[in-house]
């Protein structure tokens, strides 16, 4: 399937999906599905750097929060329209990713991983001390009273925006995966030294994939303040984003765009169910345990099983 066909199909599916869910009378569906879609974007974004290139980013929460807080700034300053906020948050997070990548990607991969964690704490401290965006107390970001396109409630608009953004990130991930860039990234993942020797511009490719990955994570955060109508640093920088965006690709499979999608939908749905039926602490425990189990026992995830099964059938 060519990229253009894939893009058309992805958008068609997204629009059909968004339209069909208008028939669902239960409002809770939108609240829960929003979070699952948010994880689809985060997992897909993480996988562009983590799965394709082999560099671990522990700072998902930082880039997510950059997106969220750029929305808060635009809301406080200009009451900017939603699309402007989405684009702005994406760009700012991309720039932050570019900066982090430029500073640390020259070193061994571990240092990038540690620096990404460090960035999350530095930004957290910065936001806590920044009164304009509410500081540690948090800030209210009210949903506009009238909803465009004749939708019933504002959450429906956010939900549709999320469906479309998820489609965009899947398309971006697949385009990168199938392009020469993707092959370069795979070469870096498998053996960076050999890739460098064969003339792959490793540093430039790494910085590029970091930037794209971080920009998409920022995009996932841009609508979050509206979703909750309230934002405070410890929820925006929650470690659970980092854990989830690593666990989901690992569980789904990291080699292609479909793995994070499967992982995010599965794990996201399970978490929503557990959160309602048991408690949110238990749902975090489940994510952690699944992450450790999969990474030790099934390192290629669910897609790894599918591949193995296919290979056996071909024989």
Q: Give the pairing of strands 230-231 and 139-140.
A: antiparallel
Element (H, E) at 298: none
As a whole number of angstroms, the distance between CA 193 and CA 210 comes to: 19
Residue choice 34, 52, 69, 124 for contact with other proteins (CB under 8 A) = 124
Give residues 224-263 in contact with other proteins (rule: CB under 8 A): 239, 242-243, 246-247, 250
Output 285 or 308, the one with its CB closest to other proteins: 285
Binding to other proteins (CB under 8 A) within 136-165 occurs at 136
Tell me: does residue 277 bind other proteins (CB under 8 A).
no
Secondary structure class of 218 (helix, strand, coil) = helix
Q: Are 223 and 160 in contact (CB under 8 A)?
A: no
DSSP state for residue 129 in the 8-state scheme: T
8-state DSSP, 136? G
- Subset of residues 24 to 43 that bind other proteins, contact rule: CB under 8 A: none
**Please, which residues have CB within 8 angstroms of residue 98's CB and are 6 or more apart in sequence?**
207, 210, 211, 214
Does the protein bind other proteins through residue 114 (CB under 8 A)?
A: yes
Nearer to other proteins, 95 or 243 (CB): 243
Number of residues that bind other proteins (CB under 8 A): 43
Question: Is residue 208 within the footprint of other proteins (CB under 8 A)?
Answer: no
CA 223/CA 3 separation, integer angstroms: 27
The distance of closest approach from Cβ of residue 78 to other proteins in the complex, given in angstroms and rounded to an integer, is 28
Shortest distance (Å) from residue 220 CB to other proteins: 20
Extract the tokens encoding 242.
């980092």
Using only the alpha carbons of the chain, give its radius of gyration: 19
Q: How far is the CB of 246 from other proteins (least distance, A)?
A: 5
For the four alpha carbons of 195, 298, 62 and 228, in that order, the dihedral sign comes to: positive
Residue selected from 76, 111, 175, 178 as contacting other proteins according to rule CB under 8 A: 111
Residues of this chain that interact with other proteins (CB under 8 A) are 50, 54-56, 58, 103-104, 107, 109-111, 113-115, 117-119, 121-122, 124-126, 128-129, 136, 239, 242-243, 246-247, 250, 281-282, 284-285, 287-289, 291-292, 295-296, 299
């Amino acid at each position: 399937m060519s990229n253009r066909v894939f893009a058309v199909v992805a958008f068609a599916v997204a629009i059909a999906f968004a339209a069909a869910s208008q028939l669902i009378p239960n409002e809770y569906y939108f609240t829960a599905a929003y979070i699952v879609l948010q994880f689809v974007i985060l997992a897909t974004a993480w996988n562009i750097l983590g799965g394709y290139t082999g560099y671990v980013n522990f700072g998902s929460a930082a880039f997510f929060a950059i997106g969220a807080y750029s929305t808060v700034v635009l809301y406080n300053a200009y009451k900017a329209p939603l699309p402007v906020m989405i684009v702005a948050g994406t760009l700012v997070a991309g720039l932050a990713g570019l900066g982090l990548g430029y500073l640390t990607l020259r070193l061994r991969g571990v240092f990038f991983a540690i620096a990404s964690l460090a960035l999350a704490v530095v930004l957290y401290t910065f936001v806590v001390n920044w009164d304009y965006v509410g500081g540690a107390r948090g800030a209210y970001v009210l949903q506009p009273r009238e909803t465009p396109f004749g939708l019933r409630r504002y959450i429906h608009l956010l939900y549709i925006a999320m469906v479309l953004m998820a489609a965009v990130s899947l398309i971006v991930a697949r385009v990168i995966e199938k392009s020469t860039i993707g092959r370069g990234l795979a070469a870096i993942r498998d053996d960076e030294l050999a890739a460098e020797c064969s003339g792959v511009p490793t540093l430039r490719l790494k910085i590029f994939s970091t930037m794209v990955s971080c920009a998409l994570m920022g995009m996932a955060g841009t609508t979050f303040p509206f979703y909750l109508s309230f934002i405070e640093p410890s929820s925006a920088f929650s470690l659970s984003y980092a854990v989830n965006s690593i666990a989901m690709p690992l569980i789904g499979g990291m080699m292609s765009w479909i793995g994070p999608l499967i992982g995010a939908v599965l794990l996201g749905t399970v978490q929503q169910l557990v959160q309602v039926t048991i408690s949110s602490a238990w749902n975090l425990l489940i994510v952690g345990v699944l992450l450790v189990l999969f990474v030790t026992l099934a390192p290629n995830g669910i897609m790894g099983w599918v591949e193995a099964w296919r290979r056996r059938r071909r024989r």
